[in-house]
């Protein structure tokens, strides 16, 4: 039998707050973290809104000498990792005996684009000799799990996944499998992203992917609503500590939830658009259910990918109805991107944490801005107000550019 894998710690950085408790409290209150971008002049851009993290101080989490050597996405990753590690009650740094049995897998969508853009300007204005020797380490995605491993002394499995908007979920799923295979006992996993930059904003605008509801930022992200007009870019990190059940029990850890299923598929259809038949979404959810050994009727809640784009929301709804049949109309579905935006490579990690918190507290976060029903989106999207209810099994969906899909299933822990 495969080893059971449990969640013992979580960390969150979102546009709502730095920290798990405040982010979660504001999510359950249905608050939005979306506003006009303040980081740079957005007047020339079609989209002028995003979910910026504004209360984060890297000095609270990293030595001063390290901060300037690391891109903001690495700051977020380390901070969320340390939050999760602290909640798990593990020593920092880890002792030499356990370090080889502990590792880190993180998902990153675009990595250090802020660093890249700054250095291109520096190169053009002042020449090649002005580029910092820390430029490459600040830029590359794998420096996020690398820095976490250095901070916490994790010498076991370590890697970085770059699978667009599914990266965080892939990282959690792969970390689960590492533990099930017996290659580690403890894994830090999730996603981080910090790419609210002029070039990124321009690129997504050119792809016509973003909302342009600039006059109403808090109402711009509206998954499954008929008047949705694109996603809202965001930033942050969501990280969790996974452990083998044996490891958690041996040290008397508090177990928050159990991770029981993981699926991953490809649409093999288009660079940015989902397969119109939703085939990849359908097979991914079914793979996760098969991995968990569950019938579709076991799922109580789906934390949807729910991007607030026309194709994704209708396609995801179609897939849910195909996988779950009549049960699709009995389970609850919500998109927390309505409040915190789309964090790209971080979003799967963040939504995995949210799924675990829903199980812990027996409450479902809402889909805010759900005002005008869409005939193509006709499920229970927990509209506008959180819902206290019995929750035992949660499915979290993540679907990315390139047709890459990841699904995770979490369960209430039972001895």
User: Other CB atoms closer than 10 Å to residue 233's CB: what's the count?
Assistant: 28
Instruction: Give yes or no for a contact between 107 and 171, defined as CB atoms under 8 angstroms apart.
Output: yes
Q: Which of 75, 160, 284, 305 is catalytic?
A: 305
Q: Which of 165, 189, 386, 407 is catalytic?
A: 165
Helix (H, G, I), strand (E, B) or coil at 395: strand
The reply to whether 305 belongs to the active site is yes
Q: How far apart are alpha carbons 285 and 321 in whole angstroms?
A: 11
Q: Report phi then psi at 392, rounded to 5.
A: -120, -35
Helix (H, G, I), strand (E, B) or coil at 268: coil
The reply to whether 170 belongs to the active site is no
Report residue 149 as tokens. 């491993």
Give the burial string for 36-61 (b: 16+ CB within 10 Å, else e).
ebeeeebeebbbbbbbbbeebebeeb
Instruction: Give yes or no for a contact between 107 and 236, defined as CB atoms under 8 angstroms apart.
Output: no
Q: Which of 75, 160, 189, 342 is catalytic?
A: 342
Q: How far apart are alpha carbons 18 and 22 in whole angstroms?
A: 7
The reply to whether 327 belongs to the active site is no
Q: Which residues are catalytic?
A: 165, 305, 342
């Amino acid at each position: 039998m495969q080893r059971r894998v449990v969640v013992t710690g979580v960390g969150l950085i979102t546009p709502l707050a730095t920290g798990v408790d405040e982010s979660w409290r504001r999510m359950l209150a249905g608050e939005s973290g979306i506003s006009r971008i303040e980081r740079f002049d957005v007047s020339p851009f079609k989209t002028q809104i995003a979910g910026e993290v504004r209360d984060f101080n890297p000095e609270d989490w990293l030595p001063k000498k390290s901060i300037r050597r690391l891109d903001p996405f690495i700051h977020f990753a380390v901070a969320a990792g340390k939050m999760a590690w602290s909640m798990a009650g593990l020593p920092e740094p880890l002792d030499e005996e356990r370090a080889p049995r502990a590792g880190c897998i993180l998902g990153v969508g675009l990595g250090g684009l802020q660093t890249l853009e700054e250095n291109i300007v520096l190169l053009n204005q002042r020449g090649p000799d002005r580029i910092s020797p820390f430029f490459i380490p600040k830029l590359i995605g794998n420096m996020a799990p690398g820095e976490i491993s250095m901070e916490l002394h994790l010498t076991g499995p370590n890697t970085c996944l770059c699978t667009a908007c599914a990266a965080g979920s892939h990282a959690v799923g792969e970390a689960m499998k590492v533990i099930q295979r017996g290659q580690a006992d403890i894994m830090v996993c999730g996603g981080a992203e910090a790419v609210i930059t002029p070039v990124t904003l321009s690129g997504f605008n050119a792809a016509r992917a973003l909302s342009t509801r600039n006059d109403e930022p808090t109402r711009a992200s509206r998954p499954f609503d008929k008047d949705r007009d694109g996603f809202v870019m965001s930033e942050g990190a969501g990280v969790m500590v996974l452990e083998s059940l044996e490891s958690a029990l041996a040290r008397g850890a508090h177990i928050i939830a159990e991770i029981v299923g993981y699926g991953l598929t490809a649409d093999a259809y288009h660079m940015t658009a989902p397969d119109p038949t939703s085939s990849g979404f359908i097979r991914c959810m079914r793979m996760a259910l098969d991995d968990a050994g569950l019938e579709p009727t076991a799922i109580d809640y789906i934390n949807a990918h729910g991007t607030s784009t026309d194709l994704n929301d209708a396609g995801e709804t179609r897939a849910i109805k195909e996988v779950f049949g009549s049960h699709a109309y009995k389970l609850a579905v919500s998109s927390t991107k309505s409040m915190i935006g789309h964090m790209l490579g971080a979003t799967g990690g963040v939504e995995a944490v949210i799924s675990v918190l829903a199980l812990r507290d027996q409450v479902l976060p809402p889909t805010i801005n759900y005002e005008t029903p869409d005939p193509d989106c006709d499920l229970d999207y927990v509209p506008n107000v959180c819902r206290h209810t019995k929750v035992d099994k949660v499915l979290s969906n993540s679907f990315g550019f390139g047709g890459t899909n990841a699904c995770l299933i979490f369960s209430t822990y039972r001895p």
